Structure formats: structure tokens, C-alpha cells
Amino acid sequence: MSLETDGLRQRRTGVKRLVEDLDIFEKVVDNVKEEKKLSSGLISIICFSVIFCLVFGEVVHYFSGKKEYDYRFDVDTALDDLPNLDIDLVVATPCNNLAVMSSMDESGGIFAPLQQSIQKDPTRFEFTEEEQMYWTVLRHAHAAINHGGLRGLEELQYVDSDVEDNLEQLANQKQKDEAAALTEQRRNQKDSDGPGNGQLIFMIGNGMGMFQIVASNGVDEAGNISHRIEKFNFGRRVRGLVAPLAGAEQISESGQDIYRYFIKIVPTKIYQGIFGRFTMAYQYSVTFLKKKLNEGEHSHGGILFEYEFCANVIEIREAYRSLITLLVRLCAVVGGVFATSRIINNVIQLILNVLPWAKVSTTSPVHVEKTALLNSGIVVR
């Protein structure tokens, strides 16, 4: 009976030993330590320095790094809602040389009231010192938004809202002064100037349109198409937002040049915060073309704005990274550097053992006490 029990125990011991033979993890006795080496110490210093730099960089990037955005394209379902065009344009031509009319006026349709939406006020093309100061700020913003290279739709250019407000107030005051001066001048003249042949055409249809200003020659003064754009916004006004054409200035030496602006408008919803608030901005890109009249040609100078609305709306949301993502990246950095440093240390130790000059020990003899290894019959003297 005892023999069968011994045989059964012997069989269990064989299975246990077979499983132990498959163990790939090295076993080291606790009181047996590897000798410290200078090369390993240097690798450890480099390893901790790299870990500190990478961890610091990840934390800084998480809290103050460049924001990332998610773009979503959707069909614009508000095509029937025509956005307003807010334009403030100064042309170096007398008002009598510019006439406003719409090509749809004769039909008496919904476009008939367009000519009443355009208001012409007399003013001076030259700046005062205060106006020049605010105009310089707007010009710098215009240059920043129109510099070469790619720009994300979420990268909006802002200026202090007081810049546009002060420019508008100063322009209104200058218009009042100019209107008073013209009224006094007309009182002293027997014959007033008659209307010129200039025209302003405004057409809308199928998402495309054209806005044209033509300067003709008046009775006493030739027309000049030199112009300055202070505002050119589509949709609801966003205070301080600089449009690509805001701050544009073109000076015509002959006064009869033709300027064409091709505008591609993209409706954009920029979401902010976690409550779904968004800013609706009708952003647009501009392609500018200037045509000079050749010698002998006779034509009126003109400014043409040709625009087209995109059929899609772009939704922009900021991509937030969770704290778990940061912790995972930190763990990956620390673990990756430690694993890489261990491989580098093993390679360096292998090279040092192979080289003849590296085998010479530079350490002084140390007295080693007799130590008995646990679970072994080996004695170290």
C-alpha cells in the first residue's frame, strides 16, 4: 500500500519539475549582488535625465501645448438664410460720380430695396493723425492674416474692438464736417453738379453674386478708383474679428484701373467650451487681380467683388485629452526608457568583456566574509 503511495508522489514530483523547467525567469538569491560598475552608473544618470526631460515635456504639452481641433463637414441647411454684408468702403471719387442701382430693380422683385441698403456719404480720402494711428493697427492685422502659408479655420485674427469703433466714430464725424462744408459750398454756387454715369450693381442668386462699383468722370473732376476697405464682413458682426479684406488699401496712379476680388465664403461654426456654444463666422478666402488700362484704352475704373458661398458648413471643436491619456503616455515614457537603458547596458557590458584592455580590473581587493548561499552547498571565501 505504501509502494503505491510512493509511486504516486514520485509522479507528482515529476510533473512539478517539468513545469519548473519551463520557467524562463532567472532566480537570484537576495544576498548575492552584482558588482557596481562605472559604465552602468553613467547609463543610470543618463536614463533618469532623459526620463525627467520627457515627463516634464509631456506635462507642459498637456497643460499649455498647442491645441488640437476636430473638423466635421456637414451640409449647410440654412441656404435660404441670406447673411448680411457689412461693408465700409472709401473711394477717392466724388459721390456725384457714383450712382447706386440694382439690376433687379426693374423686375420689382425682392431685390428692389437693395439700392436703399447702400448709403453714400461724402468724406475725405486723406486720414487725420488719429485715424492714421488706428488704421495702422488694422493694417498690421490685415498683413498678419494674409501672410503666405497655410492657416487653420480656427485661427481667427482679432484686434481691440476699440480700433473699429474709433475708426467708425472718426469717419462719421469727418462725414458730418464734409457734408456741412459741401452744403455751404452749394449755397455759394448757382449751378450744382449733376449726377454722373457711375453705377453700383448688386446681384444675388444660386449662392453666387457680384458687387461692382464703377467710377465715371464728373463735370468738374475725373473719377479715381483708389479705395480703402475698413469693413467687409458676411453675417453677424463679431466684435474685434478681422476679416481678410479689412485693412486693404489700393492706390491707383491713373485712377482708371480695374480691381477684381474673387471671394470664396465658407460658413464655419467654431464651438467653444463644453456647453455647445459656438461662434458663426462666414470666413472667406480672397484672390486679388488688378488690371491696368493700356495706353489708348478708354474705360472707367472699377472695383468688382465676385463671391460664392460654399454649400457645406464646417464645424470645429477642440479635441480635449483626458487625464488617463496623460498617465498612459507617462507610463509609456518611463517604461520605454528603462527597457531601452537595460538593453544598452547589456550591450556595453558585452563589449567591455570582449575588449582586452577592458578586462583589467581597476578596483582594489575587498575583504569578503564567508557567506553561505541559501539553498546551496557553495561557500564563498
CA-based nearest residue to 303, from 166, 196, 201, 157: 201
- Kindly state the greatest CA–CA separation across the chain: 144
Tell me the CB-side half-sphere exposure of residue 308, using CA atoms within 13 A.
7
258-278: burial string, b at 16+ Cβ within 10 Å, e else: bbbbebebbbbebbeeeeeee
Q: Are 212 and 303 in contact (CB under 8 A)?
A: yes
DSSP assignment, residue 74? E
CB atoms within 10 A of CB 211: 21
Residue 283, C-beta contacts closer than 8 angstroms, at least 6 positions apart: 153, 265, 266, 268
Cβ atoms of residues 192 and 96 within 8 Å: no
Residue 143: what pLDDT? 75
198: helix, strand or coil: coil
Q: What SS3 class is residue 348?
A: helix
Which sequence spans correspond to the domains of the chain?
Answer: 69-318, 323-350
- Chain centroid offset of residue 335 CA: 35
Cell matching residue 310: 460654399
- The phi-psi region of residue 206 (left if phi > 0; otherwise alpha if psi is between -120 and 50; otherwise beta) is left
pLDDT of residue 332: 92
Cell numbers for 14, please give them. 515529476
Burial 301-325 (b: 16+ CB within 10 A, else e): bbbbbebebbeebbebbeeeeeeee
Q: Which amino acid is at 87?
A: I
Would you state the pLDDT for residue 342?
A: 85
State the DSSP code for 107. G
Burial class (CB in 10 A: 0-12, 13-18, 19+), 153: middle
Phi, psi of 21 (to 5 degrees): -65, -25
- pTM for this model (two decimals): 0.57
Neighbouring-strand partners of residue 379: 372
Contact 243, 138 (CB under 8 A): no
What pLDDT shows up at residue 293?
Answer: 74
Per-residue pLDDT, 359: 54
What is the predicted pLDDT for the residue at 174? 67
- Residue 78: what pLDDT? 67
Ordered per-residue pLDDT tens for the chain, 381 residues:
444 545 444 455 576 676 666 655 555 655 656 667 777 788 888 888 899 999 998 888 888 877 778 888 887 776 666 677 778 888 777 766 665 544 444 444 444 444 445 666 666 677 777 777 777 777 777 777 767 666 666 666 666 666 766 677 776 666 666 666 656 655 665 444 433 333 333 333 335 555 566 666 554 555 677 888 888 888 877 777 788 888 888 888 777 788 888 888 888 888 877 677 787 888 888 888 888 877 666 667 778 888 888 888 888 887 777 888 889 989 999 999 888 888 888 888 888 788 766 554 444 444 444 444 444 444 444
Distances (CA, A) of 67 to 81, 155, 318: 32, 11, 7
